[in-house]
Amino acid sequence: MHRLRRVLALLIGLVSAPLHAAVLPADQWQDYRALFVSPDGRIVDTGNQGVSHSEGQGYGLLLALAAENRADFERIWNWTRSNLQRQDKLFAWQWSPRLDPPVKDWNNATDGDLLIAWALARAAAHWQVPQWQDEARTIAVRLRGTLLREAPFGPLLLPGQQGFEEKGSLLVNPAYWVYPALAELARIDPEGPWEAVSQSGQRLLRLTRYGAAGVPPDWIRLHADGRLALPAESAQRRLGFEAIRVPLYLCWAGLHDNALLEGFLRAWPDEGAPAWIDLSNSDRAAYPLTLSQRAMRQLVIDCRQDRPTQALRLSADDYYGSTLTLLAQLALARPKSLP
């Protein structure tokens, strides 16, 4: 019965995947690949000592799929599977060329796992590779078996298996709810609670709007009594470089929370706005928005107006910002963001 469901889900995906030109033009993918993809398929974080992350590998898979470049997709997936995948089929969060062995910490990052599973499921439907859907479903089953916790607002996603449950509280990252990935997992793993997880993330966002702008922090702490509070650590209670992905995933999934989007624009009234704001005391960075935040600011503007966006110019020194510029373009692509 389970096998039959998987086959039916794959067939549905095949029927729903129309033939069309690549969402990401070949020249944009080629530029990105030249800057950030090694010949063996490793996505290189040029702004962070050349490390790689499961999140970055997931982004690379999505971009290669959007460019309809199967050879590059397979190269990235083969590197990811060979170097990051654990026996339980989740993925180590970081690989460093400066370490021996390159993986020092085998803890996972839940958003990276979600991104990889999403990319595999979509690629399985587009290129008719049932094995990739089976691998995506295995990841989904493992995630729901180990990374979900009950919360007053619904099932909560732990950011990783280790290090986020302490002192009677949970540390949560609102940007780890990758809404379009959750929708894809609901298709390939219909027995999972993925719709409820998506709803819980949206409720969490409605409960965590802080500061004058009314925006979510990079991290939030859920206490045993159900209280949500800003973390004590100043770097975690900022609108900094994590929560900026919240509008990306909302817009990509078609979840246009206009009140929240307007909050981001209040925080980023122009490109000279500070790169981060402490949502507890209004302390702010002494430098302006970086490429990643400028890309997300433009996405918010275009998402509110329901129009496509154009990628900003890529920067060889800024893997994260360059990646978000292309992902913003995919998020607002019409009618399909991925093949």
165 labelled catalytic: no
Phi, psi (deg, nearest 5) at residue 185: -65, -35
As a whole number of angstroms, the distance between CA 118 and CA 123 comes to: 9
| CATH number (domain holding residue 230) | 1.50.10.10
Q: Are strands 169-172 and 220-223 parallel, antiparallel or unpaired?
A: antiparallel
302 labelled catalytic: no
Q: Is 17 contained in some domain?
A: no
Quick one: which H or E segment has residue 191?
none
Phi, psi (deg, nearest 5) at residue 95: -130, 130
Structure pTM?
0.93
pLDDT tens-place string over residues 197-236: 999 999 999 999 999 999 999 999 999 999 999 999 999 9
Q: Look at residue 11 and tell me whether its pLDDT is greater than 90.
A: no
Count structural domains, the chain. 1
Q: Which of 45, 68, 72, 111 is catalytic?
A: 111
Range of the domain at 267: 2-11+23-331
Q: Is 163 contained in some domain?
A: yes
Is the link from the previous residue into 335 a cis peptide, with omega within 30 of 0?
A: yes
Q: Is 338 contained in some domain?
A: no
DSSP 8-state code for residue 176: G
- Band the pLDDT of 21: cuts 50, 70, 90: low
Q: Is 320 contained in some domain?
A: yes
As a whole number of angstroms, the distance between CA 128 and CA 150 comes to: 36
As a whole number of angstroms, the distance between CA 154 and CA 169 comes to: 16
